[in-house]
């Protein structure tokens, strides 16, 4: 057995091997030690190998999914090794023959199908990246992308550049990424792979071989050529072939019901880079949770498929006004018919996730409940198609298309599943009992014999008691002897002597009892046992037949699943719009960005939950003014806590919502399609990559200034605050000028540098805006209202007081502020001499006599020759001692 384990393990060195032994998956050697630590299970030992104990641990087969989930979450890959023959067949080769085993699948983060291992509202993508350098002018080459969700069949491809690769991967958000080993080992890309937040798996470069890529795809789909799927570039074809090769390897011969690959044109999508996604908290907050994100605030879907589609749309907003308007029309349709919408959502809530059930059945991993999920989904689809057919949806193309897809589902399949499946269904097909009575006559006969065995055995026991006169005689059963007759020891003679001795055959003697069998009992046991096995075999046959009929209709079922998801998302947007008073945005090809009464969708709901004051709505107008051809820049000043960042983010989120085809939190919104959205908000470091907070800020700002164009929307908050005041002010000043003259983007720029407001005198498209505040009895009241003008105070000390700083600190801060404001026109050296005790000797030193030669004070020379920004703490301390020494000299 250990020879067999070592042989199978050698073929799967990069996986933990779950080796099936009876009711457990066992792990040995290093696998056992790894799994024991990762899962917190007991590590034992069994036998010897090369003179040392063999480490061993195991998990029950019935609970394997829970352990797999933990291992996958920790980044492990698992090879599941099952028995591939009946133990009885192995015994025919010899009493000590080992049962044949083999790996039936590889479990990796990107190839999960089990319901318990998947998140209902999140797609589970496997992505593949390859690079083509020949025939391109780009020194980095052209990158091909392919991404597959084998749990639903989605298969998409695209082409990208190195500059966009990170943003595209952030949009797809795969659970696992495969690249060729050559690309993975490329030194120029080593840092790029390390920065990714998901598993990166190097695979043989043959997976992406361009010479055989098209043939591999064609073989997988059983077609002569892939031309019917569309025209793909070399990079796209190679990436698709690599993804398919990995799926074939991990599924070991099973073919998931993948859609043919379709191209996703990134040019028709809003480009949103990873930093912007994180800053705007589209799908998760900066802390990694869903609560507080945009999707958490707007998700009103009632199905897992709808939640996944909403997340996908939120990750990839459209940049095509016509497609956006189609989605908005569907939302408007359901907003106008509340009765139909309620019926739809009630029917959807009862519809299972049929696309994932279909995938499991196609991969021979499904169970009776997956069959029932298909049946329930077909029932819901038929009902929805019926009442949608009664409504006039001609103005909503998405609804019309969905209705057609639902109507195309085959009724005979639904009827067959309804007739075949029992009401109570087991989890596993091996348990049997999932076929309804009356569906197969031969199955009913075998079940009757199996289920009536208790009555038959009871009748036989009563007859034996009458014939022998032993009232305590029992007919019992165990897994070793099967059925047997048992009497107490003092009655044994009655069965071993006389006329009954020929009938009762001795089997076993116990301390207080004796066991017998009869020819009649043995024959009855064989019939009962055979009936149970034959009944289970018939159920397995029916299961396979139903699976075959379902997979034959896979395309229609997947189309229906997509249609249900689209309806769910459209109806959920209508529910959101009605509940939150959202409005339909106007989206076109222009450069407009006019928002009236805009609100932050997440903050508004949070305030309502806390029973605080209602959210204060604000306007924003960033589109070209009369006679101008480019967007405007709003320079927003005001104190901390007043709402500048909220105002910036809400306008970015309104653009995102509009371009996914949802209604927006505003009274009126007119948005010219945003092709690229950039956001630089908040402060964070990246110490793992050697980047300080300021460096991260500058890297993100550089990306914006190097990429933004006239159709972009740029959100910048507090640029330059991470460094010295004059450096930061200079950077912010230059960045605004660059945005105005070079990028010419629609922009919102929040700052505490009030000096920047002077730029409005020289930059025609720069508009000063500020957040209104009011001082009352020494405190500051934030009105959260954006108005034209510039702030003249930062109110930082008031905010510090609200935060709870000690009163002594607040009082001292006011004193220092007063001194600084009094001397704000003096040079830094003059301020030090006037205000710091260390320089009191310099301040009090008498002036030299008239005509006497003047010599520069050594302390001032030391100050002039030093650069505080470059001093280490030790160097600063040494400088302080030198200054003190010079001051002591007088």
Nearest to residue 372, comparing CAs of 303, 438, 439, 418?
418
- Positive or negative, the CA dihedral 602, 605, 611, 613 is positive
Q: Which of 114-128, 477-491, 679-693 has the lowest mean pLDDT?
A: 679-693
- Residue 170 pLDDT: 92
Residue 129 contacts residue 183 (beta carbons within 8 Å): yes
Residue 740 contacts residue 766 (beta carbons within 8 Å): yes
Is the pLDDT at 685 greater than 60? The verdict is no
797 falls in which pLDDT band (50, 70, 90)? Answer: confident
Q: Which of 27-31, 181-185, 263-267 has the lowest mean pLDDT?
A: 263-267
pTM: 0.82
- Residue 870 pLDDT: 74
The separation between CA 846 and the C-alpha centre of its own chain, rounded to angstroms, equals 72
- In degrees rounded to 5, what are phi and psi of residue 372? -65, -30
- Identical fold between 299-410+553-579 and 443-540: yes
What percentage of the chain's residues is helix, strand, coil (to nearest 5)?
50, 20, 30
Nearest to residue 539, comparing CAs of 642, 439, 645?
439
Is the pLDDT at 838 greater than 70? The verdict is no
Q: Is residue 228 marked as binding?
A: no
Q: Is residue 478 marked as binding?
A: no
- Residue 569 pLDDT: 97
DSSP bridge pairs for 621: 594
Nearest to residue 313, comparing CAs of 524, 554, 123, 42?
123
Q: In what order do the strands lie in the sheet with 633-637?
A: 271-272, 676-680, 713-717, 746-751, 633-637, 766-776, 779-788
- In degrees rounded to 5, what are phi and psi of residue 446? -65, -40
Residue 283 contacts residue 315 (beta carbons within 8 Å): yes
Domain 2-107 classification at class level: alpha beta
Torsion of CA 796, 797, 799, 801, to 10 degrees: 170
Is the pLDDT at 288 greater than 90? The verdict is no
- Residue 841 pLDDT: 47
- Residue 793 pLDDT: 67
Consecutive H or E run containing 854: none
Q: Above pLDDT 90, what percent of the chain?
A: 55
- Residue 687 pLDDT: 46
Residue 355 contacts residue 377 (beta carbons within 8 Å): no
C-alpha distances in angstroms, 438 versus 370, 420, 442, 528, 680?
21, 9, 9, 20, 66
The separation between CA 23 and the C-alpha centre of its own chain, rounded to angstroms, equals 33
Other CB atoms within a 10 A radius of the CB of residue 358 amount to: 28
For the segment(s) 299-410+553-579, the CATH number from 1.10.1420.10, 2.40.50.220, 3.40.50.300, 1.10.3720.10 is 1.10.1420.10
The Cα 849–Cα 827 span in angstroms is 25
Cβ contacts of residue 725 below 8 Å, gap of 6+?
none
849 falls in which pLDDT band (50, 70, 90)? Answer: low
Is the pLDDT at 876 greater than 90? The verdict is no
Is the pLDDT at 213 greater than 90? The verdict is yes
What b-and-e string marks burial along 838-874, b requiring 16 or more CB atoms within 10 Å of the CB?
A: ebebbeeeeeeeeeeeeeebebbeebeeeeeeeeeee
- Residue 292 pLDDT: 92
Q: Is 812 exposed, middle or buried (0-12, 13-18, 19+ CB in 10 A)?
A: exposed
- Residue 852 pLDDT: 52
For range 26-47, the mean pLDDT? 91
C-alpha distances in angstroms, 28 versus 53, 62, 69, 328?
10, 20, 20, 57
C-alpha distances in angstroms, 839 versus 587, 599, 820?
64, 53, 17
Residue 580 contacts residue 604 (beta carbons within 8 Å): yes
Other CB atoms within a 10 A radius of the CB of residue 793 amount to: 14
Reduced to 3 states, what is the DSSP secondary structure of residue 194? helix
C-alpha distances in angstroms, 695 versus 603, 721, 723?
29, 11, 10
Is the pLDDT at 274 greater than 70? The verdict is yes
- In degrees rounded to 5, what are phi and psi of residue 317? -60, 150
Structure tokens at 427: 């989890």
Q: Is residue 641 marked as binding?
A: yes
Which fold would CATH assign to domain 116-264?
A: Nucleotidyltransferase; domain 5 (3.30.420)
For range 781-805, the mean pLDDT? 77
Q: Is residue 231 marked as binding?
A: no
> Does residue 826 or residue 656 have the better pLDDT?
656
- Strand ranges (E), 122-175: 126-132, 142-149, 154-160
Q: Which CATH superfamily is domain 583-791 in?
A: P-loop containing nucleotide triphosphate hydrolases (3.40.50.300)
Which pLDDT tens digit goes with each residue over 531-553?
Answer: 888 999 999 999 999 999 999 99
Cβ contacts of residue 311 below 8 Å, gap of 6+?
121, 122, 123, 283, 295
Helices (H), 470-553: 493-496, 519-552
C-alpha distances in angstroms, 332 versus 228, 309, 338, 379, 399?
36, 19, 11, 27, 11
Structure tokens at 638: 């005001």
Is the pLDDT at 686 greater than 60? The verdict is no
Q: Above pLDDT 70, what percent of the chain?
A: 93
Q: Which residue has the tokens 């937040």?
A: 197
The Cα 774–Cα 798 span in angstroms is 12
Residue 540 contacts residue 444 (beta carbons within 8 Å): no
Residue 416 contacts residue 549 (beta carbons within 8 Å): yes
For range 843-866, the mean pLDDT? 62
CATH assignment, 443-540: 1.10.1420.10
DSSP-derived secondary structure letter, 622: -
The Cα 724–Cα 730 span in angstroms is 10
Structure tokens at 677: 């959205």
The Cα 395–Cα 617 span in angstroms is 32
Other CB atoms within a 10 A radius of the CB of residue 698 amount to: 18
Which pLDDT tens digit goes with each residue over 73-130?
Answer: 888 999 999 988 877 777 777 777 888 999 988 999 999 998 888 999 999 999 999 9
The Cα 428–Cα 424 span in angstroms is 12
Cβ contacts of residue 397 below 8 Å, gap of 6+?
326, 329, 330
- Residue 673 pLDDT: 96
The Cα 863–Cα 874 span in angstroms is 16
Structure tokens at 661: 């085809």
Strand 142-149 vs strand 262-263: parallel, antiparallel, or unpaired?
Answer: unpaired
The Cα 582–Cα 171 span in angstroms is 26
Q: Which of 362-366, 672-676, 872-876 has the lowest mean pLDDT?
A: 872-876
- Longest alpha-carbon distance in the chain: 150
Cα angle 25-27-33, degrees, rounded to a multiple of 5: 140
DSSP-derived secondary structure letter, 743: I
Is the pLDDT at 506 greater than 60? The verdict is yes
Q: Is residue 645 marked as binding?
A: yes
The Cα 746–Cα 678 span in angstroms is 11
- Residue 832 pLDDT: 43
C-alpha distances in angstroms, 369 versus 415, 423, 438, 536, 580?
16, 10, 20, 17, 38
Torsion of CA 68, 72, 74, 79, to 10 degrees: 80
For range 714-730, the mean pLDDT? 81
828 falls in which pLDDT band (50, 70, 90)? Answer: very low
672 falls in which pLDDT band (50, 70, 90)? Answer: very high
Domain positions in the chain: 2-107, 116-264, 299-410+553-579, 443-540, 583-791, 828-889
Q: Which residue has the tokens 């801060």?
A: 813
Structure tokens at 542: 């029916």
Cα-trace Rg, the chain? 37
Which pLDDT tens digit goes with each residue over 406-452?
Answer: 999 988 999 999 999 999 999 888 888 999 999 999 999 888 888 88
529 falls in which pLDDT band (50, 70, 90)? Answer: confident
The Cα 743–Cα 170 span in angstroms is 24
Helices (H), 581-707: 601-609, 644-659, 693-707
- Residue 845 pLDDT: 52
The rounded mean pLDDT for the chain is: 87
Helices (H), 685-724: 693-707
DSSP bridge pairs for 514: 487, 509
- Residue 829 pLDDT: 44
808 falls in which pLDDT band (50, 70, 90)? Answer: confident
The Cα 480–Cα 193 span in angstroms is 58
For range 612-628, the mean pLDDT? 85
DSSP bridge pairs for 776: 779
Is the pLDDT at 613 greater than 90? The verdict is no
> Does residue 868 or residue 166 have the better pLDDT?
166
Structure tokens at 24: 């457990």
The Cα 318–Cα 673 span in angstroms is 9
Is the pLDDT at 831 greater than 70? The verdict is no
Q: Is residue 639 marked as binding?
A: yes
């Amino acid at each position: 057995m250990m020879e067999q384990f070592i042989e199978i393990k050698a073929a799967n060195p990069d996986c933990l091997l779950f080796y099936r032994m009876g009711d457990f998956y066992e792990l040995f050697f290093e696998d056992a030690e790894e799994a024991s630590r990762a899962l917190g299970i007991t590590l034992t030992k069994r036998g010897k190998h090369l003179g040392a104990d063999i480490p061993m641990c195991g998990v029950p087969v019935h609970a394997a999914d829970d352990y797999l989930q933990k291992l996958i979450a920790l980044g492990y890959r698992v090879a599941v090794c099952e028995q591939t023959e009946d133990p009885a067949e192995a015994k025919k080769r010899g009493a000590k023959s080992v049962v044949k085993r083999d790996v039936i699948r590889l479990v990796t983060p990107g190839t999960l199908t089990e319901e318990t291992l998947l998140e209902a509202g999140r797609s589970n993508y496997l992505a593949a990246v390859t690079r083509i350098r020949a025939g391109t002018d780009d020194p980095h080459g052209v990158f091909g992308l392919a991404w597959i969700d084998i749990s639903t069949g989605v298969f998409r491809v695209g082409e990208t550049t190195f500059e966009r690769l990170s943003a595209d991967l952030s949009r797809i958000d795969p659970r696992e990424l495969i690249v060729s080993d050559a690309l993975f080992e490329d030194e120029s890309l080593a840092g790029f792979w390390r920065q990714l937040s998901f598993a990166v798996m190097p695979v043989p470069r043959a997976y992406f071989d361009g010479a055989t890529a098209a043939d591999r795809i064609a073989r997988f789909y059983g077609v002569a050529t892939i031309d019917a799927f569309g025209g793909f570039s070399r990079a796209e074809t190679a990436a698709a072939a690599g993804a398919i090769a990995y799926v074939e390897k991990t599924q070991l011969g099973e073919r998931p019901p993948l859609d043919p690959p379709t191209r996703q044109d990134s040019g028709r999508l809003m480009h949103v880079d990873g930093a912007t996604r994180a800053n705007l908290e589209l799908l998760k907050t900066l802390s990694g949770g869903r609560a507080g994100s945009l999707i958490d605030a707007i998700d009103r879907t009632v199905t897992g498929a709808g939640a996944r589609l909403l997340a996908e749309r939120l990750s990839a907003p459209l940049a095509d006004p016509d497609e956006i308007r189609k989605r908005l029309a569907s939302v408007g349709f359901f907003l106008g018919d509340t009765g139909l919408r309620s019926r739809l959502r009630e029917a959807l809530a009862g519809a299972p996730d049929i696309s994932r059930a279909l995938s499991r059945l196609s991969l021979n991993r499904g169970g009776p409940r997956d069959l029932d999920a298909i049946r329930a989904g077909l029932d819901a689809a038929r009902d929805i198609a019926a009442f949608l057919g009664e409504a006039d949806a001609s103005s909503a193309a998405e609804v019309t298309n969905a209705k057609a897809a639902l109507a195309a589902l085959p009724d005979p399949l639904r009827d067959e599943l309804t007739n075949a499946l029992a009401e109570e269904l087991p989890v596993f097909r091996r348990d049997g009992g999932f076929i309804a009575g009356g569906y197969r006559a031969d199955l009913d006969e075998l079940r009757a014999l199996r289920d009536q065995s208790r009555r038959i055995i009871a009748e036989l026991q009563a007859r034996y008691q009458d014939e022998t006169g032993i009232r305590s005689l029992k007919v019992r059963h165990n897994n070793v002897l099967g059925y047997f007759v048992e009497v107490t020891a003092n009655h044994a003679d009655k069965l071993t002597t006389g006329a009954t001795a020929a009938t009762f055959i001795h089997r076993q003697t116990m301390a207080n009892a004796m066991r017998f069998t009869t020819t009649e009992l043995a024959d009855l046991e064989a019939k009962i046992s055979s009936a149970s096995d034959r009944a289970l075999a018939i159920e397995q046959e029916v299961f396979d037949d139903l699976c075959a009929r379902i997979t034959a209709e896979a395309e229609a079922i997947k189309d229906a699943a997509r249609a249900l998801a689209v309806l769910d998302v459209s109806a959920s947007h209508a529910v959101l719009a009605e509940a939150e008073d959202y409005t339909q945005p106007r989206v076109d090809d222009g450069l407009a960005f006019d928002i009236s009464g805009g609100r932050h969708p997440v903050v508004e709901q949070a305030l309502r939950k806390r029973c605080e004051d209602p959210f204060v709505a604000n306007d924003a107008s960033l589109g070209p003014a009369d006679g101008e051809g480019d967007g405007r820049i709003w320079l927003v000043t005001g104190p901390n806590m007043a709402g500048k960042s909220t105002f910036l983010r809400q306008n970015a989120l309104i653009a995102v919502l509009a371009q996914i085809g949802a209604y927006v939190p505003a009274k009126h919104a007119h948005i010219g399609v945003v092709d690229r959205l950039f956001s630089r908000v908040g402060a964070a470091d990246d110490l793992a990559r050697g980047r300080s907070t300021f460096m991260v800020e500058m890297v993100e700002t550089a990306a914006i200034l190097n990429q933004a164009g006239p159709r972009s929307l740029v959100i910048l908050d507090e640029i330059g605050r991470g460094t010295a005041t004059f450096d930061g002010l200079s950077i912010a000043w230059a960045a605004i000028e660059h945005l105005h003259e070079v990028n010419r983007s629609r922009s919102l720029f929040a700052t505490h540098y009030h000096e920047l407001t002077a730029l409005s005198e020289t930059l025609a498209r720069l508009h000063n805006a500020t957040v209104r505040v009011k001082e009352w009895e020494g405190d500051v009241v934030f009105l959260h209202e954006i108005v034209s003008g510039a702030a003249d105070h930062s109110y930082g000390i008031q905010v510090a007081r609200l935060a709870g700083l000690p009163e002594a600190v607040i009082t001292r801060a006011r004193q220092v502020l007063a001194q600084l404001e009094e001397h704000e026109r003096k040079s830094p050296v003059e301020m030090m001499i006037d205000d710091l005790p260390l320089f009191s000797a310099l301040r009090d030193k008498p002036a030299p006599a008239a005509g006497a030669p003047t010599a520069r004070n050594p302390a001032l020379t030391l100050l002039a020759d030093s650069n505080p920004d470059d001093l280490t703490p030790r160097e600063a301390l040494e400088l302080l001692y030198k200054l003190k020494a010079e001051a002591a000299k007088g």
